[in-house]
Chains A and B, each alone.
Chain A
């Protein structure tokens, strides 16, 4: 009976979302109405006030605005230009070097920024005009920015990983560390993709001028601040010097100090960084709290556990069920924002994965990569839209065509994670 109510609740949620109700609102409303029906009106009203206050004033969730602030300050203080210049000196002379530069610089920026949209927007502003100047294939140049942007949420710090960690009651620090190697691996696979493409067809990405070793060394100081900040935040978190909130605060403060010392942050830039942080944080908080309310409704119906028990008892190997889950995430990611899709589905699929014996860290990292793929696939590919917006001469279908070149890299990365889970778990 309760499972039927849960399925109706999920149906109502989907209808609300398809009617363009923001995902967070839809989860709030569907969860509240479901709880109202299954438990009691009084319980639903009490749950609503208690959950809102608990989530909004949670010390654990205060990490979100601080990490977003760190990325926003870096975005508005021109850190990206230094990263791009340094990466260009080192790999710009290779065939497809500018596309490679974009990916390497995106990896660097992802190390201090937790958002794929911000990474794509930042890198695109600098690299798209350069690639146009050197007559790069529009599909390759656009896709290198869009796919490079997706590294923003794979390489820590990552807003998506923070939310996943909080929702699944895992350590933010451990999840960050677990995602470092997969993030670098994905970036390297992108570089390999560019090399193979440009080897087969040099016209796609002509080689640039070679920099001398002296010039290469001279470009490095531009990236040292970023590396120091990354080492401070992730190292401090991993070594237990900071709580995740403190790591976010130290990162934001460090980014601010670096920007001020370099005289690269103006007052309007700082205000924009703060207001951008507020918009992202409020959006994430509504999503997370909505997911908590919807999760409570699912919990009292016991649907996730019933589903997990049922799937675990199926006479098929766990990898078959995993393949179905992967397919659901790839398809879901195509239609929904990564974070929105994750918060909606985690209450159902996370207990299932654990019941099947998968490692929580491994499954979380896998989900993150799967859903970030949705940021570059049609019809709702945020990073693809950003690139097309930055370079209106590159139509959206061309961006999506370019993304096709990079899809094997995502799938190889996912396959490697499945074959060698120790990439994430270290055991």
Chain B
């Protein structure tokens, strides 16, 4: 359990650093495009590249955000429950979320596979973008891992009760 949590934390923190890098590149690329457009001519395909970087930024930050309890939830009702029932509720919702986002990761990965097989190219730069789609799927898989760890921790709470 501890090992799984450590692995999950390390993996998601590493992804968050990559997401931070993508964010800074996205900002710099957009500003460079403005300057070049004013001075000479715009960088072709900036919108596409910014979209892919935005996908990396958000998808790679999902797990990190969950570790820091950054996703908005309404807790005034569950907070009023005794510890035991609260742990049961948390276990159920965590596992439901784990299953759902694992399914989402699998579906996005399948979509990426299909894009690769079809040889789908981007509209402006005419390059394959399916690796970014795979990256989003990986972000969701790591996010599901954090949710799984949360669920296992809640189970521990139920058992201890």
List A residues at the B interface (Cβ < 8 Å).
Answer: 16-25, 28-29, 32, 45-46, 48-50, 52-53, 56-59, 61-62, 65-66, 69, 242, 245-246, 248-250, 252-253, 271, 274-275, 277-283, 285-287, 335-337, 339-340, 379-380
Contacts and interface: CB of A to CB of B under 8 A. Distances in A.
Nearest to B34: A246
Q: How large is the interface on B (under 10, 10 to 19, 20 to 34, 35 or more residues)?
A: 35 or more
The 6 closest A-B pairs by CB, nearest first: A249-B30, A62-B54, A22-B71, A278-B61, A49-B107, A282-B61
Interface in B1-38: 16, 19-20, 23-24, 26-31, 33-34
B89 to A, nearest CB: 5
Contact of A19 (B28, B55, B92, B103): B92
B77 A20 contact: yes
A242 B30 CA distance: 10
17 contacts: A22-B73, A48-B107, A52-B108, A66-B23, A246-B30, A248-B30, A249-B26, A249-B30, A253-B28, A253-B31, A271-B20, A278-B64, A279-B65, A279-B68, A283-B65, A286-B62, A380-B76
Contact of A282 (B28, B64, B76): B64
Highest count of chain B CB atoms <10 Å: which of A21, A250, A278: A278
Contacts of A45: 107
Contacts of B104: 28, 48-49, 52
Nearest to B16: A278
A280 B148 CA distance: 22
Given A21-B97, A49-B110, A274-B23, A242 B34 contact: yes
A64 to B, nearest CB: 8
Interface of B is mostly: helix
Contact of A62 (B26, B31, B76): B26
Interface string B31-52: 1011000000000000110111
Contacts of A242: 34
B121 interface: no
Given A23-B71, A246-B30, A281-B58, 9 more contacts: A21-B93, A52-B107, A57-B55, A57-B133, A271-B20, A278-B57, A282-B64, A282-B65, A380-B76
